[in-house]
Amino acid sequence: MTKSTRIVALKTLISIMWSAVLVQQFRVLYLLCYAVPCYMFLKSLGRGSGVGRWGNTEFRWSCKLELS
């Protein structure tokens, strides 16, 4: 991971978290659905998946990075 890629990823994560702050009532849901999976995805760099819980609702997320 290059330095510029890391900065772009960090900016993306910050903007996602900022938008979550703006939408107060959905803040926790935003962080669960976007920031946490994004962070985990960047950490594993390639494949990430998981299960989250929101009240009685369970949701799954997964993402894969294709490098050409």
pLDDT tens by residue, 49-63 = 556 565 666 666 555
Angle made by CA atoms 58, 25, 43, in degrees to the nearest 5? 55
* Residues 6 or more apart whose Cβ sits within 8 Å of residue 41: 48, 63, 65
The residues of the chain scoring below 50 in pLDDT are 68
What is the model's pLDDT at position 51?
62
Q: How many CB atoms lie within 10 A of CB 38?
A: 19
Whole-model pTM: value is 0.26
